[in-house]
């Protein structure tokens, strides 16, 4: 049984709402076999599963992915968020990613938000979803 079938089976068996499941896709995963990954994403999207492109801007960012893939969200890599209040280049990149995401109708989430100044800057520039130590440290894994 392939990944898509496994997800569909688990959703059916548990009765979990598919719209509450968001799978993160990395750019490196897309590099391996973009056609197969895109097809699997489209199949899962038909079930209601959502997708987030993780660490956008840190790898081999291709804008063609944004057109081709069934994405719901882009995650801005923490390497840009970390110094956006002190580095004009990082600030310009983050601002551009936020604008691009909004223009494409995608949610945007900033990773690595550690200070109120970073959060305030992000809010002022249209980002309203955040991850980082400002909100809480990672918890233990429960199995």
Are residues 90 and 80 in contact, defined by beta-carbon separation less than 8 angstroms?
Answer: yes
Helix (H, G, I), strand (E, B) or coil at 23: strand
Report the Cα 41 to chain-centroid distance in Å: 14
Asked if 73 contacts 106 with a C-beta cutoff of 8 angstroms, the reply is yes
* Residue recorded with tokens 């709402």: 17
Q: Which residues are catalytic?
A: 111
């Amino acid at each position: 049984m392939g990944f898509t079938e496994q997800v569909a089976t688990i959703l059916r068996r548990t009765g979990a709402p598919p719209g509450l499941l968001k799978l993160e896709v990395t750019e490196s995963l897309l590099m391996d076999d973009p056609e197969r990954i895109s097809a699997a994403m489209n199949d899962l999207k038909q079930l209601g599963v959502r997708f987030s492109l993780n660490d956008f801007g840190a790898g081999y960012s291709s804008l063609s992915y944004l057109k081709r893939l069934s994405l719901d969200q882009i995650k801005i890599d923490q390497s840009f968020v970390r110094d956006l209040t002190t580095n004009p280049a990082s600030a310009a990149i983050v601002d551009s990613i936020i604008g691009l995401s909004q223009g494409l109708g995608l949610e945007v989430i900033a990773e690595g938000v550690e200070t109120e100044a970073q959060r305030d800057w992000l809010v002022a520039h249209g980002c309203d979803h955040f991850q980082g130590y400002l909100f809480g440290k990672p918890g233990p894994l429960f199995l």
